Structure 1
Amino acid sequence: MRLFLTTCFIALASVISLAQSTGRRAKSAIYSASSDWQKVTLKATARLTTTSKTAVVSPSVTQLSDRMEATSAGPSSSANIDFRPAFVGDFATNRNGWRSGNRGDYNYQIGMGRYSVRKLNVRTQQVAFSAVELPVDINLNKADIFTIKVDVLADSGQVPTGGILFGVKDSLNYNAFMLNVKGEVSIIRVANGRTFSDYMSGDYFSPGVSVEKNRNRLMIQRKGDTIRFYINNQEIRTSPYQFKILSGNGIGIMASGYWTSFQKLSVTLGL
């Protein structure tokens, strides 16, 4: 009996010792696994935080730098290339302050895209005259390149009798490019009410190009020291002329026919 009890006690002690040993290993394994997971998590979180900061901050700085470069370089370069000051007489309204109503021997009327001049006194020797000042950023004397265009219209079957004024200071100081009813052309420089023929004769002559009835486009173009004159995109035979300082910076129209109308007036700088 004593031997049996001794044997049972030894067996029971072995089981308890084994259970305690197993419990300690399991606890160690759980702690170790938890500790490793924490390390992995912390390292992953640190890397994610670093990466996240890089992803958020760096592109923002790059984008800001790009925006600053675009602001400092882009718009000014684009403006230098694309900007072309222009004056347009669309004649839809009288926003530019042209002469209107009955003035002397003529009636001036603006509307429907036309500036029409009608003679009230058929016996008059006066010429219809209307001009406005160009904007300050369009200076014909300072611009190395400019283009002036206008369409001149007349009654059916007639060559328009009128033309374009440029370099206008007032009614006594101006330059003009004119057509008459015969299809002849005149380039005039007037100073203090007198016509000077030092380089623009002022006389009417055959332009050497075709002139149409009803409508013709007159164009004046300066490039550097030369100024050229065109009718319907054809350069007249006496062109080019040497450019000389203009007395003023106005633009206008002149007419002497019974009915003359003007459309699509424009003044532009550059090509």
Structure 2
Amino acid sequence: MRPYVLITLITLLAVNSFAQSSARRQKPVIFSASSDWQKVTLKPTARLQPSRPTSAATNPADANTSPAPTVTVPPAQPDRTAPAEVVSTAPPSPYANRPSAPPVSPNETVTQPTRTGSSGASTSDFRPAFTGDFATNRNGWKAGIKGDYHFQIGMGRYSIRKRNVNTQQVAFSYVSLPPDINLNNADLFTIKVDVMADSGRIPTGGLVFGVRDSLNFNAFTLNGKGEISIIRVANGQVFSDYMPGDFFSPGVPIDKNRNRLTIRRKDGGLYFYVNEREVRTSPYPFRTLSGNGIGMITSGYWTSFQKLSVTLGP
């Protein structure tokens, strides 16, 4: 009886050991969750280490329906002949369809809108085309003693002083504008200058423009009586074919000591202003100028000019 019982116990122990050995053997697993799936393929190795739980990726759209199952993947020892292979497909981003501002690269420069004036022209990079600052004689103005006048540049002024009070000469100084600034071709331009005299006196003198030489030019000037002259000179002769050609009352106040003279071309006409107020006979039709020079003219005892500028555009 005892030998029979002993044989039975040994048989039961052997069967139990075989069952436990079979239970530890892992098989390949394929897992699918909703419409997004991933495949995990495992290959057995010689030795198995204790397993660590790893959560499978789930679709964010199914987060409110059912929790994703957990797959236990036992890591294996490195096998140079048959490494473990994992292939997965990532779920789509939940923010794929959300509108957003385009990203800015660190090397990208964000351009601010350009400010424009009331006429719509850009003001951020608009500068006078030509400026007579009179700090230096970089433009080549007449300087020193020339005939009966003394021409002096400095301190932001161009001063002309009469040396002979009985002279019949007129002081005349001009320079040519740069080649890319053509008054005949510009549809819009503005010429300005400040004219000054001794304290308590109205300045005598003004602007010359469209100058070819001292015998061919146009002029906009003041005299000591507060009158203005708008003339065209050709071959030394004054013409009144479309400009008055003589001094007359401008219909606007004329100040003592300093006045600003402005000539503006727009809409096919020439407009004339004293201290930003248009004179009564303005505008005149624009006609081709004899040249492309700009300058000053005077017959006064002492006349000074400041802030000369030629501006293209509105």
Task: Give the TM-score normalised by the residue count of structure 1.
Answer: 0.81
- Map 1:1-271 onto structure 2 (within 5 A): 3-28=1-26, 35=42, 42-43=87-88, 47=90, 81-82=121-122, 84=126, 86-271=129-314
Letter aligned with residue 134 of structure 1: L
Counterpart of 1:43, as a letter, is: S
Percent identity for Structure 1 against Structure 2:
56
- Residue 13 of structure 1, CA deviation: 2.7
Per the alignment, do residues 132 and 6 of structure 1 end up closer, same or farther by CA in structure 2, a change over 3 Å counting?
A: farther
Q: Give 4+ residue runs of structure 1 displaced > 4 Å after superposition.
A: 31-34, 36-39
CA distance in 1 between partners of 2:192 and 2:301 (Å) = 22
Deviation for aligned residue 1:34: 7.3
Gap regions ≥5 residues in structure 1: 52-59
Aligned-residue RMSD, C-alpha: 3.2
| Counterpart-to-counterpart distance in 1, 2:173 and 2:256 | 23
Which runs of 5 or more structure 2 residues have no equivalent in the other structure? 30-39, 43-70, 74-83, 94-101, 115-119
- Looking at structure 2, the residues matched to 143 and 137 of structure 1 have their Cα atoms a distance apart, in angstroms, of 10
Cα distance in 2 for residues equivalent to 1:210 and 1:232: 8
CA distance in 1, matches of 2:19, 2:41: 20
TM-fit CA distance, 1:125: 1.2
Q: CA deviation at 1:156?
A: 0.4
Instruction: Using structure 2 for the length normalisation, give the TM-score.
Output: 0.70
Distance 1:7 1:152, change over 3 A: same
CA drift of 1:140 comes to 1.0
- Identify the structure with the greater helix proportion: 1
Report the 3-state secondary structure (helix = DSSP H, G, I; strand = E; otherwise coil) of the residue aligned with 1:27: coil
Deviation at 1:110, TM superposition (A): 1.6
1:110/1:20 Cα in 2 relative to 1: closer, same or farther (>3 Å)?
Answer: farther
Give 1:20 shift. Answer: 2.7
Q: Measure the CA separation in 1 of the matches of 2:310 and 2:238.
A: 24
CA–CA separation in structure 2 for the residues paired with 1:169 and 1:235: 27
Q: Flag the 1:5–1:183 CA change in 2: closer, same or farther, 3 A.
A: same
The superposition leaves residues 96-136 of structure 1 with CA deviations (integer Å, 9 ceiling, x where unpaired) of 11111221211212222111111122221111111111122
Q: Would the alpha carbon gap of residues 13 and 220 (structure 1) be closer, same or farther in structure 2, given more than 3 Å must change?
A: same
**Corresponding pairs, count:** 247
Other-structure match for 1:57: none
Structure with larger RCO (C-alpha < 8 A, sep 6+):
1
